[in-house]
Structure 1
Amino acid sequence: MREISFIQQNRERWQSFEEKIANPHQMSPDELADQYIQLTDDLSYAKTFYPESSIVGYLNSLGSKAYYLIYQNKPEKSRRFFSFWTRELPVDLYESRYYFLLSFIVFVVSVIIGSVSAVKNDDFVRLVLGNQYVNMTLDNIEKGDPLAVYRQMGEVPMFLVITGNNIFVSFVVFVFGLLSPLGTMYHLFRNGVMIGAFQAFFYQHSLLTVSSLGIFLHGTLELSAIVLAGGAGILLGKSFIWPGSLPRKSAFIKGVRKGTKIMLGLVPFFMIAGFIESFITRYYNQIPLIVNLVIIIISLVLILGYFIYYPIYIHKHYNS
Structure 2
Amino acid sequence: MIDVKVDGRLKSQRFRQEREADWRRLERLMEKVEKGSMASLSEEEILAAPVLYRSALSSLSVARATSLDRGMIEYLEMLCARAYFFVYGSRETLRGQLATFFAGGWPAAVRGLWRETLVSVGLMVIGALVGAWLFGQDAEWYYAFMPKEMTGGRDPAATTEMLRATLDGTKSSSGLSMFATFLFTHNAQVALLAFALGFALCVPTAMLVIYNGVMLGVFFALFASRGLGVEAGGWLAIHGVTELFAVCLAGAAGLKIGWTVAFPGERSRLDAAAQAGRHAATVMGGVVVMLFFAGLLEGFGRQLIVWTPARYGVAAVTALIWGLYFYAPRRGAKA
Query: Under a length normalisation based on structure 2, what TM-score does the superposition of the two structures give?
Result: 0.65
Contact 2:194 2:208 in 1 (8 A): yes
Distance in 1 (CA, whole Å) between partners of 2:182 and 2:211 is: 21
Between Structure 1 and Structure 2, the one with more helix by share is 1
**RMSD of Structure 2 on Structure 1 (CA):** 3.1
Aligned equivalent of 1:84:
101
Contact 1:159 1:275 in 2 (8 A): no
Answer yes or no: is 1:177 the counterpart of 2:198: yes
Q: How does 1:4-83 map to 2 (within 5 A)?
A: 71=88, 75-83=92-100
Aligned equivalent of 1:254:
275
Instruction: State which of 212, 226, 233 in structure 2 corresponds to 1:191.
Output: 212
Task: In structure 2, give the amino acid aligned to 1:151.
Answer: S
Distance in 2 (CA, whole Å) between partners of 1:319 and 1:133 is: 45
Contact 1:236 1:255 in 2 (8 A): yes
SS of 1:278's equivalent in the other structure is helix
Q: Give the fraction of aligned pairs with identical amino acids, expressed as a percent.
A: 20
Residues 214 and 318 from structure 1, CA distance in 2 versus in 1: closer, same or farther, beyond 3 angstroms? closer
Residues 212 and 76 from structure 1, CA distance in 2 versus in 1: closer, same or farther, beyond 3 angstroms? same
SS of 1:244's equivalent in the other structure is coil
Q: How does 1:105-254 map to 2 (within 5 A)?
A: 105-133=122-150, 136-137=153-154, 138-139=157-158, 141-143=160-162, 144-147=164-167, 151-152=173-174, 165-254=186-275
**1:163 shift after superposition:** 5.6
Task: In structure 2, give the amino acid aligned to 1:250.
Answer: D
Contact 2:151 2:176 in 1 (8 A): no
Aligned equivalent of 2:115:
98
Instruction: State which of 306, 315, 320 in structure 2 corresponds to 1:296.
Output: 315
Contact 1:150 1:278 in 2 (8 A): no
Larger radius of gyration: 2
Aligned equivalent of 1:269:
290
Distance in 2 (CA, whole Å) between partners of 1:217 and 1:103 is: 21
Runs of 5+ unmatched residues, structure 1: 1-69
Task: In structure 2, give the amino acid aligned to 1:146.
Answer: T
Contact 1:119 1:200 in 2 (8 A): yes
Contact 1:225 1:270 in 2 (8 A): yes
Task: In structure 1, give the amino acid aligned to 2:332.
Answer: H
Distance in 2 (CA, whole Å) between partners of 1:226 and 1:119 is: 26
Query: Under a length normalisation based on structure 1, what TM-score does the superposition of the two structures give?
Result: 0.68
What are the superposed Cα offsets for residues 172-224 of structure 1, whole Å, 9 maximum, x if unpaired? 11112121211100000100011111111111111111111111111111111
Residues 279 and 153 from structure 1, CA distance in 2 versus in 1: closer, same or farther, beyond 3 angstroms? farther
Residues 275 and 171 from structure 1, CA distance in 2 versus in 1: closer, same or farther, beyond 3 angstroms? same
Runs of 5+ unmatched residues, structure 2: 1-86
**1:94 shift after superposition:** 1.9
Task: In structure 2, give the amino acid aligned to 1:231.
Answer: A
Distance in 2 (CA, whole Å) between partners of 1:173 and 1:221 is: 17
**1:140 shift after superposition:** 6.7
Aligned equivalent of 1:59:
none
**1:280 shift after superposition:** 2.5
Aligned equivalent of 1:56:
none
Task: In structure 2, give the amino acid aligned to 1:281.
Answer: R
Answer yes or no: is 1:308 the counterpart of 2:327: yes
Residues 248 and 74 from structure 1, CA distance in 2 versus in 1: closer, same or farther, beyond 3 angstroms? farther
SS of 1:146's equivalent in the other structure is helix
Residues 71 and 164 from structure 1, CA distance in 2 versus in 1: closer, same or farther, beyond 3 angstroms? farther
Task: In structure 1, give the amino acid aligned to 2:262.
Answer: I
